[in-house]
Structure 1
Amino acid sequence: GSIGTLVLLLIMSQGQAVFKKDSLLLSGVMVNAFCSAVIMFMISMTRDARLHNIMFWLMGDLSTADIEQVVYLAVALIPCFILIFWLSNIMNLLLMGRDMAQTMGVNVKVVTLTLLITTSFMVSTTVSYCGLIGFVGLVIPHLFRLILGSDHRILVPACVLGGGAYMVVCDLLAKILPSQGEIPAGVITALVGAPLFIFLLKRSRQ
């Protein structure tokens, strides 16, 4: 599903425009709106008793996590983390601009597609286990970029560790804040992440 969505995004971005972030973002917004509508339609048509679990999954739920799922995720994601870390120097070159990176021997198209496919696989694998948890991938990289700078050799491992720590804290809050039961972890990440992301966005523009 994620690879199919990625292919659709690349088609909508029309070849070379895939490297233009505005085109890619707008295409992503449209595809997300369509997929969300399909999911909501399917939920509205179902009478399954597991509807409550589906709604929790859509909001991001870690309550059903167990050691077996952690092992599966580790096997799937650790090679992806290694690949992205291996590309850290190349990503640093891309910060200087596409033309400059090409003059230094970087195949921008191959690197970009590799990163898109790898991150799409990582996101889809994680979402299949814990649902849609928003703002982690937006807030943590921006926060660490402001604190640590733009060197991806430092940013990549920092985001992995920082994102994991952030999720642990949010999941803990989701368990202890309600007087009974628990709320989805994705609710906490959104409540904390949305205002924090707005603050970081304004700070970066200044």
Structure 2
Amino acid sequence: MQAKVSEWFNNRRNIVASINTKCTPLTPKAENIIRKRFKKASEMNVKQLNRFEYEVTGKENDAIIDLGQRQCSCRVFDLDQLPCVHALASYEQAGIEVYDLCSNYYKLETWALAYVDTIYPVPQQEDCDINEVEVLPKVLPPNVSVKRGRAKLKRIPSVGEGKKWIKRCGLCGLPGHSKKTCPLRSTTSKL
């Protein structure tokens, strides 16, 4: 039994390897994304900053790309894990294969290996012997005590929020000093 499973697994790997040699190593959807981005990338100008970093300028969006770290200032490369237009514009100058810049998640081999094991169908809901009361507990509202009195309509601002208060003198009303240090106090006390 173990020999059949490993033989089947190796056959699967060989099929995936033969697919890779005939065409792209990427899944069809990922390959379409790359092809669309290539069109835009061909219109961009590339300036090398160092071994892996490039400044890529184009019609509407400029970016700094780091092919060694697989990062771009446009953040598309970082999030998609597929080369953005800036990476596609600069990969040849770096001497890197474009498919090496793609995450393994988009490669056919990974895709095929995800389906190597048996995927069992999910039974219909009416075939399940699960009691709904056991599965879904009754959710009650939180215990909240109602406070007496009138409800507050205005929020109390926290420290550093809202208007800044300027201390003013109680005697003359000018800012910058208090009643005790008011220059008018010394003149009014002498009178």
- TM-score, structure 1 normalization: 0.25
Find the structure with the greater CA-based Rg.
2
- TM-score, structure 2 normalization: 0.26
Greater strand fraction, Structure 1 or Structure 2: 2
Greater helix fraction, Structure 1 or Structure 2: 1
